[in-house]
């Protein structure tokens, strides 16, 4: 066994980078033991006790970084050393990049890129509003990724933008695809003639991927931030988005996505679409469908249905075929649910749905509305009840792990799977869990290696349930495309190999879970 020490004299890395480097080293399979800490005398003494202090590290000072690791051979040690240097270099580049391509203000950014027409703003909420206004005053459209911007500021920004003929996407806008360029959390989709206006980030990702996977494509996908369609903001940008898509010559079909808009906003939407000649499909999750009766909008119940209807319009097919196709597929899901339910024990009766995408959480709640009176969520909609303790499931539980309560101080669960992984194991240990329902969202912004995060946990679930002589179905939708850096087919195939029931959409995954639960009742 070999112990190797690497001493980086006077090199400062912030704590987050240090922990990340330490984690990456410990995750290398050939590393038997490791530590990455500052060279204080006390840390040296700790390394000595741990059998990790080398001669070289004896000379470390308080301001030096010490990295120590144990492995089986010199060849392995050399390989690990090379990897560590790569990690350090990457971290160094990330933290200390400088020069003209790292502008420190909007003004200097505009000097570098005078033709820019969109500013993406992702700074702390209390400063984001002012930065966005500065961008608008410079004639830039704005994608405002930041949240915690006051509603008053949002209205001010959007009214100003409207007067200037500009867009403000956000605040809290996580997804957009503009002129074929995916922004923030977005997927690599085909270009085509379907334009999307969305007040729902995950919803936008789901429909754009389903459209792309069906062979059609996106002209523009405009995110507005969820609050835009509420009473206070009054749908300022959602309505402007619809008008822009109506005027866009590359858009032939318009798809609208939102969680329930305020009634006043619905009236405005219906009014605006009256003048539009293009086919319009609307997915307004958990909104009463009757509000849209006699409007020009073809209403879809789920994101999947909305995407497929838009595809049918784009291909100039009969939309009735969409409903027939979904009905046929649902029959297949029922048959699969019957088989699966026969494998689970009689006391396994509850759904545990753990989502990284907030809109999926809403969509699944909608699908489960009438399944049972005891459906709980941390973000309840409709008849679903509020969980007393978000960290503990009750009966049927549907969780949005991307909600603020879970994410402060941690990356979003589409990036960092650790919170959900812990919860998956907790649900697997509960003898009353009948099915675990998950989503995996691919694309830019999301975790680049989701399989490395999820597969070990799925194996652990199998160990737990087989020890308890139970079978626990895991259903998962994968939102993504072949062109995404993670590649949807690769991810779906690897999950299927682990006996996960992989579905093309969250609606299909939720329906399968629903049919399975209904069989158990």
CB nearer to another protein: give 40 or 159.
Answer: 40
| CB of 352 vs another protein, minimal distance in Å | 19
Token digits of residue 65: 């970084």
- Fill in the DSSP letter of residue 289: G
CB nearer to another protein: give 13 or 376.
Answer: 13
Q: Show the 3-state SS of 218-232.
A: EEEEEECCHHHHCCC
- Fill in the DSSP letter of residue 316: T
| CB of 358 vs another protein, minimal distance in Å | 19
Residue pair 96/105 in contact (Cβ under 8 Å)? The answer is no
| CB of 65 vs another protein, minimal distance in Å | 9
CB nearer to another protein: give 134 or 162.
Answer: 134
Helix (H) or strand (E) holding 203: helix 201-213
Integer angstrom CA distances of residue 124 from 101, 130, 131, 170, 203: 22, 11, 10, 14, 25
| CB of 107 vs another protein, minimal distance in Å | 8
| CB of 504 vs another protein, minimal distance in Å | 34
| CB of 446 vs another protein, minimal distance in Å | 21
Token digits of residue 197: 């206006």
Q: Footprint of another protein on this chain (CB under 8 A)?
A: 12-16, 18-20, 22, 26, 33-35, 37-38, 40-43, 46-47, 49-52, 61-63, 68, 95-99, 102, 104-105, 123-124, 126-127, 391, 408-410, 418
Least Cα distance to 380 among 395, 391, 364, 392 occurs for 364
CB nearer to another protein: give 146 or 510.
Answer: 146
Least Cα distance to 340 among 161, 247, 473 occurs for 473
Place of tokens 């999950």: 495
Integer angstrom CA distances of residue 479 from 278, 285, 414, 421: 27, 18, 11, 18
Render the burial of 359-394: b for 16+ CB within 10 Å, e for the rest.
bbbbbbbbbbeebbeebbbbbbbeebeebeebeebe
| CB of 124 vs another protein, minimal distance in Å | 5
| CB of 109 vs another protein, minimal distance in Å | 12
| Cα dihedral 152→155→161→167 (10° resolution) | 110
Place of tokens 């300022």: 236
CB nearer to another protein: give 418 or 466.
Answer: 418
CB nearer to another protein: give 126 or 315.
Answer: 126
| CB of 46 vs another protein, minimal distance in Å | 5
Place of tokens 């087919």: 489
CB nearer to another protein: give 224 or 419.
Answer: 419
Give the integer Cα–Cα distance in Å for 10 and 240.
54
| CB of 1 vs another protein, minimal distance in Å | 12
Place of tokens 């190999």: 497
| CB of 92 vs another protein, minimal distance in Å | 11
**Cross-strand partners of 142:** 119, 168
Give the integer Cα–Cα distance in Å for 252 and 279.
7
Helix (H) or strand (E) holding 125: helix 125-137
Residues in the chain: 521
CB nearer to another protein: give 38 or 381.
Answer: 38
Integer Rg of the chain from CA:
25
CB nearer to another protein: give 138 or 496.
Answer: 138
Helix (H) or strand (E) holding 506: helix 506-519
CB nearer to another protein: give 34 or 505.
Answer: 34
CB nearer to another protein: give 127 or 289.
Answer: 127
CB nearer to another protein: give 49 or 318.
Answer: 49
Q: For strands 501-503 and 118-121, give the pairing.
A: unpaired
| CB of 19 vs another protein, minimal distance in Å | 4
Give the integer Cα–Cα distance in Å for 452 and 43.
31
Sheet holding 65-71, edge to edge: 2-8, 65-71, 33-38
Q: How would you classify residue 353: left for phi > 0, otherwise alpha for psi between -120 and 50, otherwise beta?
A: beta
- Residue 350, helix vs strand vs coil: strand
Residue pair 245/254 in contact (Cβ under 8 Å)? The answer is yes
CB nearer to another protein: give 130 or 330.
Answer: 130
| CB of 67 vs another protein, minimal distance in Å | 11
């Amino acid at each position: 066994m070999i112990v190797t020490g690497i001493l980086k004299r006077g090199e400062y890395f912030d704590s987050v980078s240090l922990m990340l480097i330490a984690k990456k080293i410990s995750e290398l399979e050939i590393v038997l033991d490791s530590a990455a800490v500052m060279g204080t005398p006390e840390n040296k003494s700790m390394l000595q006790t741990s059998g990790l202090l080398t001669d070289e590290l004896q000379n470390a000072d308080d301001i030096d970084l010490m990295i120590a690791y144990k492995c089986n051979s010199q060849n392995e040690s050399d390989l690990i050393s090379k990897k560590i240097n790569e990690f350090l270099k990457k971290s160094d580049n990330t933290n200390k990049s400088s020069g003209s391509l790292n502008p420190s203000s909007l003004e200097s950014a505009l000097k570098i890129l005078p033709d820019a027409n969109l500013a993406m703003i992702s700074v702390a909420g209390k400063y984001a509003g002012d930065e966005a206004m500065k961008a608008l005053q410079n004639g830039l459209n704005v994608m405002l990724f930041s949240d915690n911007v006051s509603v008053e500021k949002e209205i001010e920004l959007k009214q100003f933008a409207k007067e200037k003929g500009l867009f403000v996407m956000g605040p809290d806008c996580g997804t957009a695809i503009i002129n074929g360029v995916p922004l923030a959390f977005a997927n690599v989709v085909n270009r085509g003639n379907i334009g999307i206006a969305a007040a729902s980030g995950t919803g936008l990702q789901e429909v754009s991927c389903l459209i792309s996977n069906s062979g059609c494509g996106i002209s523009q996908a405009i995110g507005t931030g969820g609050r835009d369609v509420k009473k206070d903001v009054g749908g300022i940008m959602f309505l402007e988005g619809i008008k822009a898509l109506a005027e866009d010559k590359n858009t032939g079909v318009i798809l609208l996505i939102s969680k329930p808009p305020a009634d006043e906003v619905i009236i405005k939407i219906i009014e605006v679409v009256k003048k539009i000649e293009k086919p319009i499909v609307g997915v307004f999750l958990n909104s009463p469908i009757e509000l849209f009766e006699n409007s020009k909008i073809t209403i879809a119940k789920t994101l999947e249905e909305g995407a497929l209807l838009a595809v049918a319009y784009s291909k100039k097919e009969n939309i009735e075929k969409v409903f027939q196709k979904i009905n046929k597929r649902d029959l297949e899901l029922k048959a699969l649910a019957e088989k699966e339910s026969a494998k689970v024990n009689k006391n396994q009766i509850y759904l545990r749905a753990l989502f990284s995408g907030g809109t999926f959480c809403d969509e699944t709640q909608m699908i489960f509305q009438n399944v049972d009176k005891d459906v709980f969520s941390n973000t309840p909609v409709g008849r679903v009840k509020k969980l007393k303790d978000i960290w503990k499931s009750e009966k049927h539980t549907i969780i949005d792990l991307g909600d603020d309560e879970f994410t402060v101080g941690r990356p979003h669960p589409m990036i960092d799977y650790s919170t959900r992984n812990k919860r998956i194991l907790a649900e697997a240990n509960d003898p009353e869990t009948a099915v675990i329902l998950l989503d995996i969202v691919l694309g830019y912004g999301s975790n680049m290696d989701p399989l490395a995060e999820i597969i070990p946990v799925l194996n652990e679930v199998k160990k737990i349930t087989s020890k308890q002589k139970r079978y626990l179905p895991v259903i998962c939708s994968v939102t993504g495309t072949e062109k995404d850096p993670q590649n949807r087919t690769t991810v779906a195939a690897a999950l299927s190999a682990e006996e996960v029931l992989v579905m093309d959409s969250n609606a299909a995954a939720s329906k399968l879970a629903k049919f399975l639960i209904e069989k158990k009742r």
